[in-house]
């Protein structure tokens, strides 16, 4: 990987032997290994049997989970907040495991739509809840710093299953409780919604 990064630097018109770039291939390799560590993660090990039988049938919400991922079309970051809710049938997930699960799927080359579904599908598969909902809101640098260059646009995706899909009242309660949208630190409050990149440019 480091040799490929040296070739990339040279292809960009830089001198990989320049003092400031000598250790860049090593640093980039380390960064990408971390940012794609989700490929090596085992979701069952991450959950670590933190699935508990509890007599509780109301909505459970973990909101404002920060996430960072890489767009698979341009290898540029997209980042924002993830909100997860489910209605237990017989089991609940340890609360700390939900952000860890988000990280597993976010630390891969992704599109936001697939990432949203993977989180919802995993919760549905592991505890068979009466309903599960995931909403993700993110700024995509492939759209903000290149292409259309719309810095205040963001993408919102959702996955609704069970009670959240079938009951408008349940769905609206969830959306009201998460209060879209939370501002992303360092950016101005957005005024319009954008779309995820489509990889055709």
What are the chain's domains?
2-35 (no CATH), 47-193 (3.30.1130.10)
> To which residue do tokens 């646009």 refer?
153
pLDDT of residue 188 exceeding 80: no
Q: How far is CA 170 from CA 93, 113, 151, in A?
A: 20, 22, 33
Read off the pLDDT of each residue in 48-77 and give the average, rounded to a whole number.
Answer: 95
**Residue 161 among the catalytic residues:** no
Among residues 2, 14, 29, 73, which one is catalytic? 73
pLDDT band of residue 176 (cuts 50, 70, 90) is very high
* pLDDT of amino acid 151: 79
Read off the pLDDT of each residue in 32-47 and give the average, rounded to a whole number.
Answer: 96
**Residue 83 among the catalytic residues:** no
**Residue 82 among the catalytic residues:** no
pLDDT band of residue 180 (cuts 50, 70, 90) is low
Among residues 110, 118, 140, 197, which one is catalytic? 140
Give strand pairing partners of 85: 61, 133
Handedness of CA 17, 14, 198, 160 (dihedral sign): positive
**Residue 71 among the catalytic residues:** yes
Q: Tokens in use for 47?
A: 């959950």
**Residue 73 among the catalytic residues:** yes
Q: Tokens in use for 104?
A: 């597993």
Q: What is the largest CA-CA distance in the chain?
A: 63
Read off the pLDDT of each residue in 139-149 and give the average, rounded to a whole number.
Answer: 88
**Residue 74 among the catalytic residues:** yes
Predicted TM-score (pTM) of this structure:
0.86
83-132 pLDDT, tens digit per residue, is 999 999 999 999 999 999 999 999 999 999 999 999 999 999 999 999 99
**Residue 19 among the catalytic residues:** no
CA separation for the pair 83, 100 (Å, rounded): 13
* pLDDT of amino acid 187: 41
Among residues 82, 142, 155, 197, which one is catalytic? 142
């Amino acid at each position: 990987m480091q040799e490929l990064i040296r070739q990339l630097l040279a292809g960009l018109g830089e001198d990989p032997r320049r003092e400031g770039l000598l250790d860049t291939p090593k640093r980039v390799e380390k960064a990408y290994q971390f940012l794609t560590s989700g490929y090596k993660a085992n979701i069952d090990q991450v959950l670590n049997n933190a699935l508990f039988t509890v007599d509780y049938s109301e909505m459970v919400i973990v909101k404002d989970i920060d996430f960072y991922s890489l767009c698979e079309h341009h290898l540029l970051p997209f980042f924002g907040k993830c909100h997860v809710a489910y209605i237990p049938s017989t089991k609940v997930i340890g609360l700390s495991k939900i952000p860890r699960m988000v990280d597993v799927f976010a630390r891969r080359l992704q599109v936001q739509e697939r990432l949203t579904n993977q989180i919802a599908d995993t919760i549905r598969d592991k505890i068979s809840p009466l309903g599960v909902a995931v909403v993700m809101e993110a700024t995509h640098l492939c759209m903000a710093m290149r292409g259309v260059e719309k810095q205040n646009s963001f993408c919102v995706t959702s996955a609704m299953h069970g009670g959240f899909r079938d009951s408008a009242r349940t769905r609206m309660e969830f959306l009201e409780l998460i209060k879209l949208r939370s501002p992303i630190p360092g950016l101005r409050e957005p005024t319009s919604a954008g779309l995820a990149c489509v990889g055709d440019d």
